Amino acid sequence: MPNDPAASPPDSGELLAAAKALQPHAAILGELGRLFADAGHELYLVGGSVRDALLQRPLTDLDFTTDARPREVQQVVRGWADGLWDTGIEFGTVGVGKGTDRLEITTFRADAYDRVTRNPEVQFGDHLSDDLLRRDFTANAMAVAITPSGLGEFHDPLGGLAAIRHRVLDTPSAPEVSFGDDPLRMLRAARFVSQLGFGVAPRVREAMTRMAGELGRITVERVAAELDKLMLGADPVAGIDLMVQTGLGDVVLPEVGGMRMAIDEHHQHKDVYQHSLTVLRQAMDLEGPGGPDLVLRWAALLHDIGKPATRRHESDGGVSFHHHEVVGAKLTRKRMRALKYSNQMVDDVSALVYLHLRFHGYGDGKWTDSAVRRYVTDAGPLVERLHKLVRADCTTRDKRRAARLQANYDDLEHRIAELAAKEDLQRVRPDLDGNEIMRILDIPPGPQVGEAWKYLKELRLDRGPLEHDEAVAELRKWWNAKA
């Protein structure tokens, strides 16, 4: 992998390490290089694939660019590829499947933008340099020639390797031009801060701050996709904070930045915003080997967004946020619906926000078994996430208080486990089903059956499982009292 002489000289060890990272794909790279060379075309590994190889990050997809036009690309790989997709062909991209690898091969681009949407007027280019110049950040604007023997010349005309060394995001052209062409790139900057641990160049930060309002041109679906990638990154707190500090958050997540104005009731944090970022970090620490949990992370970030609207200054000089979990759940639902998240995602995150304070009524183990059952029943399949969210929400610097809260939650989890060993807490149902209710009361299907079912479920939550005869007696007693 020799260096392009126009680039800043790389350390030979950097290129050797990148080549080693690409070694598992050596066979495919060589085969593709031969196919394109035989057809008289250039082929380059480009963008995030080169960046991640240099950073020693796992490579999932391989991205290529070529002088061949899309139909020519299809002709070159047809017969070699296991599968072809043309969903992006109008933008010059051909999707290719080979074994377990997924490849995207895109014709050199030299697009023009209308500055109204983020959709370019697609123009195919004839030179690699033009294609690299139109990319979002210099760290994504490097390429490696793919030849029949594998990796060829390393091209870095815009200083991408230097950006990686300094862990900084900068744009190939002036950031005003880059972000004016495609405002989503500003949100991608925040996402890469989260994923890669990079900072942003001063001129990039300044342009993001001035141009934040341009994000309004972007569809909410694309915004939500970037936000999720940011939230699943290694440091979503850094990405969120960049959004808030530059004003991007005011456009896509105004409730998060709005928490900066609410003083936390424990007075242990600069504000509720900083508290929420701390909770997000602590929730991540509790995720375990299952990997990033998007629902938990969103709930941790948003759990206190109801505080600004419910803040009250009390006569004793304190501050209260009564029912902020109720308001917060409504705000969460409204924001996530506006971003067009799935109904399941909206329901799960808003439910966790609504339930996150429930534990604080537990005190020192004073809940009845009925209260424990209701806690588990109300959380349903979210109960494990609720455990983690509640634990993460403990950010007090008072070590004794923190230890007491964690001990109380240990006790609650122990009680849940004890009850679960006796009862199916995840599927609390009345001791009699609808058919039995109709037979015992001699009533037809209808609202009365539903009322009886609901009464028996409440009884089940209060008293636990009943013997069949006892459940029948309680049902008749309730029915007779209604007559």
Residues 190 and 54 in one domain: no
Residues 421 and 449 in one domain: no
Residues 110 and 201 in one domain: no
Q: Give domain status of residue 419, yes or no.
A: yes
Amino acid 174: pLDDT: 94
Report residue 229: phi and psi, to 5°.
Answer: -65, -40
Amino acid 58: pLDDT: 85
Residues 127 and 16 in one domain: yes
In total, the chain counts a number of residues equal to 483
89-92: long-range contacts (C-beta < 8 A, 24 or more apart)? 90/122, 91/120, 91/122, 92/122, 92/124
Q: Give domain status of residue 404, yes or no.
A: yes
Residues 342 and 400 in one domain: yes
Q: Give domain status of residue 56, yes or no.
A: yes
For 16, the token pair is: 């050797």
Residues 415 and 452 in one domain: no
**b/e 227-247 (16+ beta carbons within 10 angstroms → b):** bbbbbbbebbbbbbbbbbebb
Amino acid 269: pLDDT: 43
Q: How many CA atoms lie within 13 A of 150 on its CB side?
A: 11
Q: Give domain status of residue 2, yes or no.
A: no
How many domains are contained in the chain? 4
Q: Give domain status of residue 271, yes or no.
A: no
CATH of residue 157's domain is: 3.30.460.10
Residues 16 and 157 in one domain: yes
Q: What is the bridge-based pairing of β-strands 199-200 and 168-169?
A: parallel
Query: Domain ends where: 139, 162, 185?
Result: 162
Residues 147 and 241 in one domain: no
Q: Which residues, 6+ apart, have CB-to-CB distance to 61 below 8 Å?
A: 49, 102, 103, 104
Residues 362 and 466 in one domain: no
Domain that holds residue 357: 285-426
Q: Give domain status of residue 341, yes or no.
A: yes
Residues 295 and 437 in one domain: no
Q: Give domain status of residue 261, yes or no.
A: no
CATH of residue 180's domain is: 1.10.110.30
Residues 21 and 81 in one domain: yes
Neighbours of 82 (CB within 10 A): 10
Query: Domain ends where: 203, 227, 252?
Result: 252
Residue 238's nearest CA partner among 275, 198, 271 is: 198
Q: Give domain status of residue 52, yes or no.
A: yes
For 147, the token pair is: 């030849």
Q: Per-residue confidence of the chain (483 residues) as pLDDT tens digits? A: 555 544 455 666 888 889 999 999 999 999 999 999 999 999 999 999 999 999 999 888 899 999 999 999 999 999 999 999 988 888 899 999 998 889 999 999 876 565 565 566 678 888 999 899 989 999 999 999 999 988 999 999 999 999 999 999 999 999 999 999 899 999 999 999 999 999 999 999 999 999 999 999 999 999 999 999 999 999 999 999 999 999 999 999 999 999 986 554 555 445 899 999 999 999 999 998 888 999 999 999 999 999 998 888 777 767 778 889 999 999 999 999 999 999 999 999 999 999 998 887 666 667 788 888 888 888 888 989 999 999 999 888 788 888 888 888 888 888 888 777 766 655 567 777 888 888 888 888 888 888 888 878 877 777 777 788 888 888 888 888 886
Report residue 362: phi and psi, to 5°.
Answer: -70, -30
Amino acid at 113: Y
Residues 347 and 448 in one domain: no
Query: Domain ends where: 162, 194, 210?
Result: 162
